[in-house]
Amino acid sequence: MPMTLHIDIVSAEAAIYSGLAEYVIAPAEMGEVGIYPRHTPLLSRLKPGSVRIKSPDRTEEDLIYVSGGILEVQPGVITILSDTAARGADLDEARALEAKRQAEEAMKNRSSSMDYARAQAELAEAVAQLSAIQKLRKIRG
Protein backbone atom coordinates (compact mmCIF):
# COMPACT_ATOMS: atom_id res chain seq x y z
CA MET A 1 0.00 0.00 0.00
CA PRO A 2 1.41 3.41 -0.95
CA MET A 3 2.04 6.14 1.58
CA THR A 4 -0.96 8.40 2.06
CA LEU A 5 -2.08 11.55 3.78
CA HIS A 6 -5.52 12.71 4.89
CA ILE A 7 -7.30 15.58 3.14
CA ASP A 8 -10.37 17.57 4.17
CA ILE A 9 -12.02 20.12 1.87
CA VAL A 10 -14.64 22.27 3.57
CA SER A 11 -16.80 25.03 2.11
CA ALA A 12 -19.07 27.50 3.89
CA GLU A 13 -22.00 25.19 3.11
CA ALA A 14 -20.66 21.70 3.85
CA ALA A 15 -17.76 19.28 4.05
CA ILE A 16 -17.06 18.45 0.40
CA TYR A 17 -14.34 15.83 0.63
CA SER A 18 -12.64 13.82 3.34
CA GLY A 19 -10.36 10.89 2.71
CA LEU A 20 -6.92 9.49 2.04
CA ALA A 21 -4.76 10.60 -0.87
CA GLU A 22 -1.46 9.60 -2.42
CA TYR A 23 -1.00 13.20 -3.53
CA VAL A 24 -2.92 16.46 -3.89
CA ILE A 25 -2.42 19.24 -6.44
CA ALA A 26 -3.90 22.63 -5.51
CA PRO A 27 -4.07 26.06 -7.19
CA ALA A 28 -1.96 28.11 -4.78
CA GLU A 29 -1.80 31.85 -5.30
CA MET A 30 1.69 31.75 -6.80
CA GLY A 31 1.09 28.62 -8.91
CA GLU A 32 0.08 25.00 -8.58
CA VAL A 33 1.51 23.14 -5.63
CA GLY A 34 1.91 19.37 -5.43
CA ILE A 35 1.68 17.80 -1.98
CA TYR A 36 2.85 14.28 -1.21
CA PRO A 37 3.14 12.46 2.14
CA ARG A 38 5.82 13.98 4.40
CA HIS A 39 5.45 17.41 2.78
CA THR A 40 6.80 20.24 4.87
CA PRO A 41 4.16 22.31 6.75
CA LEU A 42 2.69 25.01 4.54
CA LEU A 43 0.04 27.72 4.69
CA SER A 44 -1.05 29.37 1.44
CA ARG A 45 -3.92 31.26 -0.11
CA LEU A 46 -5.66 29.52 -2.99
CA LYS A 47 -6.92 31.09 -6.17
CA PRO A 48 -10.04 29.80 -7.97
CA GLY A 49 -9.35 26.49 -9.66
CA SER A 50 -9.44 22.77 -9.25
CA VAL A 51 -7.88 20.64 -6.56
CA ARG A 52 -6.79 17.26 -7.92
CA ILE A 53 -6.73 14.33 -5.51
CA LYS A 54 -5.25 10.90 -6.24
CA SER A 55 -6.92 8.36 -3.96
CA PRO A 56 -5.00 5.13 -3.28
CA ASP A 57 -7.92 2.95 -4.39
CA ARG A 58 -8.64 4.72 -7.73
CA THR A 59 -6.76 5.15 -10.98
CA GLU A 60 -8.41 8.51 -11.82
CA GLU A 61 -7.93 11.75 -9.93
CA ASP A 62 -10.89 13.38 -8.17
CA LEU A 63 -11.45 17.03 -9.13
CA ILE A 64 -12.85 19.49 -6.62
CA TYR A 65 -13.49 23.07 -7.74
CA VAL A 66 -12.66 25.75 -5.14
CA SER A 67 -13.41 29.46 -5.46
CA GLY A 68 -10.23 30.32 -3.59
CA GLY A 69 -9.52 29.96 0.10
CA ILE A 70 -6.80 28.72 2.40
CA LEU A 71 -4.58 25.64 2.14
CA GLU A 72 -2.96 24.23 5.26
CA VAL A 73 -0.50 21.36 5.14
CA GLN A 74 0.50 19.63 8.37
CA PRO A 75 2.32 16.31 8.77
CA GLY A 76 -0.08 13.75 7.34
CA VAL A 77 -3.04 16.16 7.03
CA ILE A 78 -4.16 18.68 4.39
CA THR A 79 -7.03 21.08 5.08
CA ILE A 80 -8.60 23.31 2.47
CA LEU A 81 -11.09 25.96 3.55
CA SER A 82 -13.04 27.63 0.74
CA ASP A 83 -16.09 29.88 0.52
CA THR A 84 -17.41 27.76 -2.33
CA ALA A 85 -16.38 24.26 -3.35
CA ALA A 86 -17.99 21.65 -5.58
CA ARG A 87 -17.10 18.26 -6.95
CA GLY A 88 -16.05 18.51 -10.59
CA ALA A 89 -18.96 16.34 -11.71
CA ASP A 90 -21.42 18.77 -10.05
CA LEU A 91 -20.27 21.83 -12.03
CA ASP A 92 -22.75 23.28 -14.51
CA GLU A 93 -21.05 24.38 -17.74
CA ALA A 94 -24.00 26.45 -18.98
CA ARG A 95 -24.18 28.37 -15.70
CA ALA A 96 -20.41 28.96 -15.72
CA LEU A 97 -20.54 30.26 -19.31
CA GLU A 98 -23.40 32.61 -18.41
CA ALA A 99 -21.51 33.88 -15.35
CA LYS A 100 -18.45 34.50 -17.54
CA ARG A 101 -20.54 36.41 -20.09
CA GLN A 102 -22.15 38.56 -17.38
CA ALA A 103 -18.79 39.33 -15.76
CA GLU A 104 -17.29 40.35 -19.11
CA GLU A 105 -20.31 42.58 -19.79
CA ALA A 106 -20.01 44.18 -16.34
CA MET A 107 -16.34 44.89 -16.98
CA LYS A 108 -17.20 46.67 -20.24
CA ASN A 109 -19.96 48.77 -18.64
CA ARG A 110 -18.27 49.55 -15.35
CA SER A 111 -19.67 52.38 -13.28
CA SER A 112 -17.08 52.36 -10.48
CA SER A 113 -13.77 50.74 -9.59
CA MET A 114 -15.54 48.57 -7.00
CA ASP A 115 -17.86 47.13 -9.65
CA TYR A 116 -14.88 46.44 -11.90
CA ALA A 117 -12.97 44.59 -9.17
CA ARG A 118 -16.03 42.47 -8.37
CA ALA A 119 -16.54 41.69 -12.06
CA GLN A 120 -12.88 40.67 -12.35
CA ALA A 121 -13.27 38.27 -9.41
CA GLU A 122 -16.45 36.79 -10.86
CA LEU A 123 -14.76 36.39 -14.25
CA ALA A 124 -11.78 34.59 -12.66
CA GLU A 125 -14.15 32.24 -10.83
CA ALA A 126 -16.16 31.45 -13.98
CA VAL A 127 -13.00 30.79 -16.01
CA ALA A 128 -11.68 28.49 -13.24
CA GLN A 129 -14.96 26.54 -13.25
CA LEU A 130 -14.80 26.12 -17.02
CA SER A 131 -11.19 24.97 -16.74
CA ALA A 132 -12.18 22.39 -14.12
CA ILE A 133 -14.95 21.11 -16.42
CA GLN A 134 -12.47 20.78 -19.31
CA LYS A 135 -9.97 18.90 -17.11
CA LEU A 136 -12.72 16.54 -16.00
CA ARG A 137 -13.64 15.85 -19.64
CA LYS A 138 -10.00 15.01 -20.47
CA ILE A 139 -9.77 12.61 -17.53
CA ARG A 140 -12.96 10.81 -18.51
CA GLY A 141 -12.00 10.76 -22.18
Output the CA torsion 66→31→134→22 (10° steps): -70
CB 80 within 8 A of CB 8: yes
> One fold for both 5-88 and 92-140?
no
Would you say residue 8 has pLDDT above 70? yes
d(CA 50, CA 88) in angstroms, rounded, equals 8
User: Residue 1's pLDDT band (boundaries 50, 70, 90)?
Assistant: low
Compute the average pLDDT of residues 23-37: 94
pLDDT at 53: 94
Q: Which residues lie below 8 Å from residue 81, measured CB to CB, with a gap of 6+?
A: 10, 69, 70, 72
Pairing of the two strands 5-11 and 77-82: parallel
Mean pLDDT of the chain: 83
Would you say residue 136 has pLDDT above 70? no
CATH number of the domain at 92-140, please? 1.20.5
User: Residue 90's pLDDT band (boundaries 50, 70, 90)?
Assistant: low
CB 50 within 8 A of CB 32: no
Q: Which residues lie below 8 Å from residue 56, measured CB to CB, with a gap of 6+?
A: 1, 2, 4, 20, 21, 22
The CATH homologous superfamily for domain 5-88 is F0F1 ATP synthase delta/epsilon subunit, N-terminal (2.60.15.10)
